[in-house]
Amino acid sequence: MSILVFDSGVGGLTVLREARVLMPDRRYIYVADDAGFPYGDWEEAALLDRMTALFGELIERFRPELFMIACNTASTLAIDHLRKVYPEQTFVGTVPAIKPAAERTRSGLVSVLATPGTVKRQYTRDLIRDWASKVNVRLVGSTELARLAERYARGGMVDEEEVLREIEPCFVEQDGKLTDIVVLACTHYPFLVNRMRKVAPWPVDWIDPSEAIARRALSLVRQGPPEEGRDIAWFTSGAPDAATQRFLGGFGLAFE
């Protein structure tokens, strides 16, 4: 039995690398719904239908022990629904790290950087209501950053001016106080965090929840002998371009 890590593109690799640190004995299947990328732009009902059908197929094809949905846009929309439709499966989701941000902020100004889909979800609004009611939370939807991260994965190039344009709305100055935490609420963004740090108007803490997600998965997997077999990648488009395959190869993933 193996662990299936799911995302719309390469972003879930930021979660996969943390999962491997904590669960080095497991076998990993990395699935990207790249034919549906970017998830951030989808209409909710259509994306929910697509994911429900796709997960049915993934259960049949791979029969993993556990699904890590390494995508905020997908988890905030579909995790409750997938748990209902596939009750025998174990799902670990990735949702915006609003609670730790609210606990850690000193200025009381927190920004959540995410896809437009995650920003408009009721799930995200509920997290703010439940965990951050005393904090000023700004939701910043970026249409470009996930694409920039995909481009980075293909060729290592990033346009820093574009990065700045996307992150600038996260930086708020209010009553002499400054935003001190930016939540990276899309799994693609940790690939760009060094560039974000470089171009940011002032230093902030960037919260990347990958390790916490891996810890949650660790608490749910069964202990047992190491899994046999290579780690593989499976993309809904069939096969991504050669540059992406090289990038995945760097993560020790072979193509199915």
Q: Which residues bind ligand DGL (CB under 6 A)?
A: 7-9, 11, 37-40, 71-73, 115, 118, 146, 186-188
The secondary structure element, H or E, covering residue 22 is helix 13-22
Q: Which is nearest to 189 in space by CA: 120, 100, 111?
A: 111
Q: For the chain, how big is the Rg over CA atoms in Å?
A: 18
Amino acid 131 reads W
Active-site position among 71, 119, 137, 139: 71
In the sheet that 136-141 helps form, which strands lie side by side, from edge to edge?
136-141, 109-114, 181-184, 205-207
Least Cβ distance, residue 228 to ligand DGL (angstroms): 29
35 contacts 236 by C-beta, under 8 angstroms: yes
Least Cβ distance, residue 182 to ligand DGL (angstroms): 15
Q: Which is nearer to ligand DGL, 107 or 115 (CB)?
A: 115
Active-site position among 15, 186, 200, 253: 186
Q: How far from 130 is each of 103, 104, 175, CA to CA, in Å?
A: 12, 16, 25
The count of other CB atoms within 10 Å of the CB of residue 173 is: 12
DSSP-derived 3-state class of residue 167: helix
Least Cβ distance, residue 149 to ligand DGL (angstroms): 8
**Ramachandran region, residue 229 (left: φ > 0; alpha: ψ -120 to 50; beta: rest):** left
- For residue 151, give both structure tokens: 């481009």
- Is 71 catalytic? The answer is yes
8 contacts 36 by C-beta, under 8 angstroms: yes
Q: How far from 138 is each of 162, 166, 172, 189, 216, CA to CA, in Å?
A: 20, 14, 9, 17, 27
CA angle 50, 214, 37 (to 5 degrees): 30
**Residues taking part in catalysis:** 71, 186
